[in-house]
Amino acid sequence: MIMAYIDRRSFIKKSGVATAGTLVGSQVLGQPQKRNSPNDEVQVAVIGIRSRGKDHYRALSKIPNVKIVTLCDIDQRLLPGAVSEVEKLTGHKPGTVTEYRKVLENPDIDAVSIATPNHWHALQTIWACQAGKDVYVEKPVSHTILEGRRMVEAARKYERVVQTGTQARSRHPTFHAIEFLNEGGLGDIYMAKGLCLKPRGSIGYVKDSNIPEGVNWDTFLGPAPYRPFNENRFHYKWHWFWDTGNGDFGNQGIHQADIGRWALNKLTHPVRIQGFSNFFVWNSDQETPNIQHLEFEYEDGRILQFEVRGLGTNAEGDIRIGNLIFGSKGWMNMASEDVGKCQTYMSDIKLMPSGYSSYKEEKGPEFINDDPAASDAVVNHFTNFIDCVRSRKWQDLNADILEGHLSTSLCHLGNIACRIKKPLQFNPQGETFIDDPEANTYLSKAYRSPYDLPEVV
């Protein structure tokens, strides 16, 4: 089912700044706090603690001079366990809140780490920038292409450090693989392919029910249309509904789309997109497809392909979650497991020094990263974020919000092509579809008041 959309011009008739100001509370939007990040301790609040949020506070707890001062979640049932774990990890007992605006009102908090559902990422990031906070925001960074652009604008306007949660950019073997490509190791790169071959079971059909005690369902929905509480639309399963998620392309596939674009060295959007999708086998409430075949063409003709196979399937190029990179001298296999293995298959290649990265010739030895600590890409990624919070140099981020916007937009563009079932032409500069009013309605969405996206950040 396709949710109701209105065109961008209609839904931004009134600015969302005043509304956002009410939600943020005591902060005056447009006038961020005049507070420099400390040279020593950085105080962080983690927003959303059930699943990915656990990875956030566990990684932050390993970084020197970082203090997790606040945990925030709309499900109060999760807070005691998370508080106990953070206290064991750090020796400090964090405070708890269930209202995000309380975090933004606290002048002692330097940064927020956002692990909430996709439909909340943009507003929470924009409000944090307006309140003078730096931001680590999970992928996909936005729920629509327009949201992503607003996030970039907010980061730049308020001079905030905003890191995207695509931690593969901080995984050493992946970085070395890209370095190898940039040095011409595979010659002229003409195509990259992302793979999300991740079987998912059926979520079945679930009836609406009473809101569990301790859950703020209205705030969970936030900008999404109001619906009665349903377990299938709540924890994790929200990924499979268009109101709140972007399917597995936006859930898992964003990592591989990001690496594919990185390998092609593209700092812009594609100009042509086509996609095919369907939901096979299962009967359930799920709205997003479990099979997708997508192709993105850039202005110079280079191609990024992507496949989502959410049912039982074979591997491709010996991998299920990862990328295949094709060049004039051969091809590379880049798997996305934590060990960061990747392989190159070439007709003429010199062996790399042992420990340099994780490449493998077709009939040669395998080379694996010799630094065990480098395998923890999440810690590396948060460390890079914290370093930039201290230095104030957002240019040193491994995954700045603009990178996140460009890669996330691939997920949006692919999903749009699948939903309206026709090839699309896109204007990268204007971030609009060419001569296609129907497709352009998907660049934005309707927001449930008072959770409006500001026209001007």
Q: How far apart are the first and last CA of the chain?
A: 32
Check whether residue 394 and residue 342 sit in a common domain: no
In a domain, 120, yes or no: yes
CATH code assigned at 100: 3.40.50.720
Length of the chain: 457
> Which one of 371, 386, 415 terminates a domain?
371
Using DSSP, state whether 250 is helix, strand or coil. Answer: helix
Question: What is the extent of the structural domain holding 365?
Answer: 170-203+230-371
Check whether residue 361 and residue 389 sit in a common domain: no
The dihedral sign for the CA sequence 400, 402, 407, 408: positive
Check whether residue 52 and residue 190 sit in a common domain: no
In a domain, 455, yes or no: no
Check whether residue 154 and residue 252 sit in a common domain: no
In a domain, 396, yes or no: yes
In a domain, 451, yes or no: no
In a domain, 217, yes or no: no
Q: Which two tokens stand for residue 23?
A: 């939600």
Check whether residue 105 and residue 52 sit in a common domain: yes
Helix axes 377-391, 52-60, angle to 10 degrees: 60
In a domain, 417, yes or no: no
The pLDDT tens digits along the chain (457 residues) read 223 322 333 323 333 333 333 344 334 344 444 445 456 899 999 999 999 999 999 999 999 999 999 999 999 999 999 999 999 999 999 999 999 999 999 999 999 999 999 999 999 999 999 999 999 999 999 999 999 999 999 999 999 999 999 999 998 888 888 988 898 888 899 999 999 999 999 999 999 999 999 999 999 999 999 999 999 999 999 999 999 999 999 999 999 999 999 999 999 999 999 999 999 999 999 999 999 999 999 999 999 999 999 999 998 887 899 999 998 887 888 887 543 455 665 544 433 332 223 333 343 323 343 444 445 889 999 999 999 999 999 999 999 999 999 999 999 999 999 999 999 999 999 999 999 999 999 999 999 999 999 999 9
In a domain, 160, yes or no: yes
Check whether residue 61 and residue 114 sit in a common domain: yes
Check whether residue 162 and residue 176 sit in a common domain: no
Check whether residue 159 and residue 192 sit in a common domain: no
Check whether residue 189 and residue 284 sit in a common domain: yes
Which helix (H) or strand (E) element contains residue 44? Answer: strand 42-47
CATH code assigned at 328: 3.30.360.10
Check whether residue 303 and residue 439 sit in a common domain: no
Check whether residue 132 and residue 260 sit in a common domain: no
Check whether residue 42 and residue 147 sit in a common domain: yes
Residues 6+ apart with CB under 8 A from 218: 226
In a domain, 388, yes or no: yes
Number of domains in the chain: 2
User: What pTM was computed for the model?
Assistant: 0.88
Contact between 334 and 326 (Cβ < 8 Å): no
